[in-house]
Amino acid sequence: MSRRSRAVVVSVAVLSAVIVLAVSAVLLIPQEDSSGSAAATQTPPTTTPTDMPSTPVPLEALTGLLLSPAEAGAVVGTKDMTGNPDYGDKVYEAMADKALVDESCMSLSPGLEIPYRASGFTGSRQQFLKGTDPDRKLVQTVVSFPDTRSAAAHFTVITNRWKACANRSINLAPVGGDPNHWNVADVVVLGAGDDAILTASRTEEGGAGWGCRDGLAARNNIVIDFAVCGEDVPESVLPAFVEAVTGKIKMAAR
């Protein structure tokens, strides 16, 4: 018999004064939600863990979401960060549409357009930076979606793809190019819900210790897609980078 049914039986058998006390006691017992956890009867309005504004970031604000070289250098822990010599400091308004040999894992190479096809994305901005002391390379990409739900859906899709690439070797060379093999370690989601950050670590075969920390996060209607590469890059740079970009997203959405 449920607690509510037992309360009804008792209410018939006891005096009116006891009924009043019993009802009062029932009202003070926390209700159980569908997960079995107790929730207070009077619950304050809920907010997302990141307190993210619900207004989508407009497309014209995308460039301002990228970290400046100075901001990026402070986050990834390197000096004199400037544009990567191979690309300059240009902000690209389109992602590269090249196909890689290991197509199922190519989303581990940040900011490629093919993994975003059919996702409903509406625009992107991308920049390549390089710093010294120690040597670091950063690929930062911000991708806009119509709303928070579609950005979160893409995060889920890429999470499943990355997890399928964990703990094995992948070839991230362009189709027809020389092999570019990387050993992917564990794929881990830091945090949960609206605070989740998808992370991966990979090292280049024959790269003398060169590796990359890949990160992806959905904040508001924006997906943050990036990689920090170098020797001994600490995992802590990933949440620090996401936090810095998230601050810009909050400002742009107000």
CA distance 24 to 28: 7
- Two structure tokens written together for 114: 């093919």
- pTM attached to this predicted model: 0.79
pLDDT of residue 47: 35
Q: What SS3 class is residue 244?
A: helix
pLDDT of residue 247: 97
pLDDT at 16 over 90: no
Task: Give tens-digit pLDDT for 118-133.
Answer: 999 999 999 999 999 9
Are 139 and 111 in contact, with CB atoms under 8 Å apart?
Answer: yes
pLDDT at 13 over 60: no
pLDDT at 23 over 80: no
The band of 145, judged by pLDDT with boundaries at 50, 70 and 90, is: very high
Angle at 228 between CA 226 and CA 232, to 5 degrees: 150
Q: Where are the domains of the chain?
A: 3-39, 59-252
CATH topology of domain 59-252: Protein Transport Mog1p; Chain A (3.40.1000)
Which residues, including other chains, have CB under 8 Å from residue 238's CB and lie 6 or more apart?
190, 197, 199, 213, 215, 228
The region that residue 251 occupies, defined by phi over 0 for left and psi between -120 and 50 for alpha, beta otherwise, is: alpha
pLDDT of residue 27: 30
pLDDT of residue 17: 36
CA distance 151 to 50: 15
- Percent over 70 (pLDDT), the chain: 79
Task: Give tens-digit pLDDT for 96-113.
Answer: 998 999 999 999 999 999
pLDDT of residue 254: 81
pLDDT of residue 52: 61
